[in-house]
Amino acid sequence: MNFLGKIDWFGRRRNMTRYTNADFGDDDSVNSVQLTEGISTSATHIRYHPGAKLWEVRSTLERILLFLAAFLFMVVIVLSIVVNVVEYHLQIAKQKEAKFESQLPCLNKSCVHIASNILESMDFSVDPCEDFYSYSCKGWVNANPVPEGKSNWGTFMKLEQENYLIIKHVLEQPIASFKSKAEEKAKMYYESCLDTNNTVETLGAKPMIDLIAKLGGWNVTTPGFSIKNWTLQNTLQIIQNKYSISALFSYGVGEDDRNSTRHILQLDQSGLALPTRDNYLNKTADHLKVLKAYLTYMTKIGVLLGGEENSTRMQMQAVIDFETRLANITTPSDQRRDEESLYHLMSLAELQEKSHFIDWRAFFENAMKVAQKKVSAKQQIVVYAPEYMGNLTKLIREYENTTEGKIILNNYLVWQTVKVFAVCLSKPFRDAYKGVRTALIGSDGSDEPQWRYCIQDTNNVLGFALGAIFVREVFDHKSKEQSEIMINNVRNAFKKNFNNLKWMDEQTRKLAIEKADAISDMIGYPEFIKDVDHLDEKFENLTLRPDAYFENNVNINFYNLRKNLEKINEPVNKTTWSMVPSTVNAYYTPTKNQMVFPAGILQSPFYDSSFPDSLNYGAMGVVMGHELTHGFDDQGRQYDKSGNLNHWWNNKTVDRFKQRTKCVVDQYNQYEIEGAKVNGNQTLGENIADNGGLKAAYHAYLELMNEQPEPKPLPGIPLNHKQLFFVAFAQVWCSTTTKEATNLQIEKDSHSPSPFRVMGAVSNLREFSDEFHCKPGSKMNPIKKCEVW
């Protein structure tokens, strides 16, 4: 019985202290209990009386004390229970409060600003599982029509314009405020472009007429022009080796694909004035409109330079016909993605046998004079289009057989030079191009202020000098270190995923990990721009004047050509940059196995130290993952960790890789916009990079947040931070564009249009569908997914 059990407990304590070693006889032994706990002798016993007898033998004082002891014990028990209950409820309350606190939005200034920008771009009426691009960007698209004078507008361009404003402000300062002679030259070139002294308008056509005379004359504009003493060899050497015009073919000095430690001569197809071969060969209404506008432009320029209109039009039509034949023998870009099949190393003597419309040794001897280098018949050259060069020989021979044909060839070569420098002439020459521009991209650019064009032009010419200004003015140097951390996190996530790729054999996987580890990353800017002496040395031999825009451009072309040719047979410096610091972009170079992220893109909305990690990884992290994946796309994978074109993959792994890339090609072939379908093969490398970059960045973000609490939500946005990661990725690509510019992009660009860069990537990522709870079979969660990396 419970009550007796309690009395027994108290009785034992009391009797043990008072009656140790006592024996009360055997008459009550039936009710005795022997205790051994804490007793020092086996003879110790305690006796008790059952029922009322136990209570009756107690004195009044004992009874009171027993009652108080029992009462106090009960109080202690009750209080203990109460305390535990209170503590429990307090703990629950604290948990609820913590949970409530975590669910409260972040309301500081930065969070409110970020949330506002995100919300303005979104459209919650769109189902994210059906069209994630519109869900993320429709608000932005509706609020941002293509500005007058432009053909497209988006996040990249908006940030680029902001960068230009910063540079403009500095370039408009007195020349005494500049830190280096290189920066002073940038200011002089900028002023020459603005034509602050009205020199360009005053000179009119004269600079071009003088240049044409140096080329030997032009039947379109030169009175009494004679083709009698004309040679293709001489004219090509002048326009290619003095003015750096890529007519009929292009050449230069670059890293040898098979031995990336050295520079080598390279030769490739070129020579079309219009952006794509489709502009000549595809006879749709839009393409015919472009050809008509092109002929009108050529005629206007010819007449402005002194030609008679009807004769000029007829001769220019003959030039278009010749370019059309060039287009016919030019290999389409989507068929030029296999780097190994493009690479053909040969001597100049071997090139001469395959393509003999000029003397190649004499041509390159002439070229190398400017660099004070010598060449021989054994000089090696990489030819990327041997079939084109052979067909070009046949085409040239056909035209050289007649006087009329020679005139057409010379007209073509001079026109290639005229069109390059016509933008450096007075306003009538610049306005003449508006018709072609409108036909090509849907905008004539008339509302574009001259200063903006001139900043862009100066950036193209002296970008590293402007880069010194830009970095000094706005670049947050802390972001360099933070970016390095993010790159390594993305790289680790990318490598970790290799273990999930069942199609890759173990040896190839091991080498792929080594290549990923070997990829170098350049962040912000090259160090030399902070060294005034080094920066000045880079542009030391470039002569510029603030009142000679046309002459400046001629000098720049020659300067760049000479600097390029000086590298022949020289070792490669794998730390050089090909992109200037203010650029809102990034790139990967396979021969250097190098990624570059200029200061221009390491800014909001791509990256900001005040942003949640979800937004930084969704925007800049994906850009980093994109460039990293380029080292393993259909072209980049052919180069090993040292940057050499090398068959380092297992053959069966290559076959399985190609099966997976075919899935990507087929997927993107189905995307259609403005009545035109995306070319899945032409855009394959960028599509692989988009998909791989998104996956690597997302898993890097998950790993980063693995041991961290969920950040506070952003105010007004009913999404968690994993979902915000994907929104940040999509909103990088919010953009508007004209129909013409979209069509041109599909024909020429290696990137898919923005909507498909978003939807294509998220629809292949299972984690996206899980996070947004997309039903299998929805557009963003198709049953068949394409996965390469």
In DSSP notation, 629-662 reads HHTTSTTGGGB-TTS-B---S-HHHHHHHHHHHH
| 690 counts as catalytic | yes
User: Residue 18 belongs to what H/E stretch?
Assistant: helix 2-18
For the stretch 715-740, pLDDT in tens is 989 999 999 999 999 999 999 999 99
144: pLDDT strictly greater than 60: yes
Give me the pLDDT at residue 11, please: 37
Report the percent of the chain where pLDDT is more than 70: 90
Tell me which residue of 256, 700, 335, 641 sits closest to 483, measured CA to CA: 700
Cβ neighbours of residue 309 under 8 Å, at least 6 residues apart? 299, 303
Give me the pLDDT at residue 106, please: 81
| CATH of residue 252 | 1.10.1380.10
453: pLDDT strictly greater than 90: yes
First to last CA, the chain: 73
308, part of any domain:
yes
∠ CA(533), CA(537), CA(542), 5° rounding?
140
User: What is the token pair recorded at 234?
Assistant: 């001489």
Query: Coil, helix or strand for 561?
Result: helix
Report the percent of the chain where pLDDT is more than 90: 78
263, part of any domain:
yes
300, part of any domain:
yes
Give me the pLDDT at residue 77, please: 83
Q: Model confidence at 99, in pLDDT bands (50, 70, 90)?
A: low
Which pTM value belongs to this model?
0.84
Q: How many CA atoms lie within 13 A of 175 on its CB side?
A: 11
Find out whether the peptide bond into 605 is cis, omega within 30 degrees of 0: yes
344: pLDDT strictly greater than 90: yes
24, part of any domain:
no
Tell me which residue of 416, 356, 408 sits closest to 386, measured CA to CA: 356
Give me the pLDDT at residue 74, please: 82
Burial of 283 (0-12, 13-18, 19+ CB in 10 A): exposed
Tell me which residue of 735, 441, 486, 773 sits closest to 614, measured CA to CA: 486
786, part of any domain:
no
Average pLDDT over residues 353-381: 93
Give the distance, in angstroms, between the CA of residue 406 and the centroid of all CA atoms in the same chain.
Answer: 46
Q: Model confidence at 51, in pLDDT bands (50, 70, 90)?
A: very low
Contact indicator for 270, 250 with CB cutoff of 8 Å: yes
For the stretch 153-194, pLDDT in tens is 999 999 999 999 999 999 999 888 888 999 999 999 999 999
Q: Which domain holds residue 248?
A: 205-424
| 184 counts as catalytic | no
Task: Count up the domains in the chain and report the number.
Answer: 1
595, part of any domain:
no
For the stretch 478-487, pLDDT in tens is 888 899 999 9
For the stretch 106-118, pLDDT in tens is 878 778 888 899 9
760, part of any domain:
no
Give me the pLDDT at residue 25, please: 38
29: pLDDT strictly greater than 50: no
How far lies 742's CA from each of 591, 716, 746, in Å? Answer: 31, 34, 6
95: pLDDT strictly greater than 80: no
Q: What are phi and psi of 274, to 5 degrees?
A: -80, 155
For the stretch 659-713, pLDDT in tens is 999 999 999 999 999 889 999 999 999 999 999 999 999 999 999 999 888 888 8
Q: In angstroms, rounded to a whole number, what is the distance separating the alpha carbons of residues 326 and 46? A: 120
Per-residue DSSP letter, 180 = S
Exposure string of 363-376, with b = 16+ CB inside 10 Å and e = fewer, is: bbbbbbebbebebe
Contact indicator for 361, 377 with CB cutoff of 8 Å: yes
Higher pLDDT, 73 or 178: 178
Give me the pLDDT at residue 41, please: 35
For the stretch 529-578, pLDDT in tens is 999 999 999 999 999 999 999 999 999 999 999 999 999 988 999 999 99
40: pLDDT strictly greater than 70: no
Q: In angstroms, rounded to a whole number, what is the distance separating the alpha carbons of residues 279 and 663? A: 29
Q: In angstroms, rounded to a whole number, what is the distance separating the alpha carbons of residues 732 and 625? A: 14
Q: In angstroms, rounded to a whole number, what is the distance separating the alpha carbons of residues 64 and 549? A: 115
Contact indicator for 703, 490 with CB cutoff of 8 Å: no
Q: In angstroms, rounded to a whole number, what is the distance separating the alpha carbons of residues 407 and 76? A: 115
Which one is catalytic: 690, 747, 749, 771? Answer: 690
Give me the pLDDT at residue 430, please: 95
How far lies 454's CA from each of 199, 301, 574, 621, 774, in Å? Answer: 15, 22, 31, 32, 48
Which one is catalytic: 191, 365, 551, 627? Answer: 627
Give me the pLDDT at residue 5, please: 42
716, part of any domain:
no
Q: Is the dihedral of CA 722, 518, 588, 528 positive or negative?
A: positive
Average pLDDT over residues 212-241: 95
In the predicted model, what is the mean pLDDT of the chain?
Answer: 89
Higher pLDDT, 362 or 675: 362
Give the distance, in angstroms, between the CA of residue 279 and the centroid of all CA atoms in the same chain.
Answer: 28
Exposure string of 616-627, with b = 16+ CB inside 10 Å and e = fewer, is: bbbbbbbbbbbb
459: pLDDT strictly greater than 80: yes
For the stretch 328-342, pLDDT in tens is 999 999 999 999 999
Per-residue DSSP letter, 566 = T
Tell me which residue of 636, 693, 690 sits closest to 667, measured CA to CA: 690
Tell me which residue of 209, 250, 216, 249 sits closest to 230, measured CA to CA: 216
Q: Model confidence at 598, in pLDDT bands (50, 70, 90)?
A: very high
Query: Coil, helix or strand for 677?
Result: strand
Q: In angstroms, rounded to a whole number, what is the distance separating the alpha carbons of residues 235 and 253? A: 21
Contact indicator for 775, 128 with CB cutoff of 8 Å: no
Q: Model confidence at 56, in pLDDT bands (50, 70, 90)?
A: low
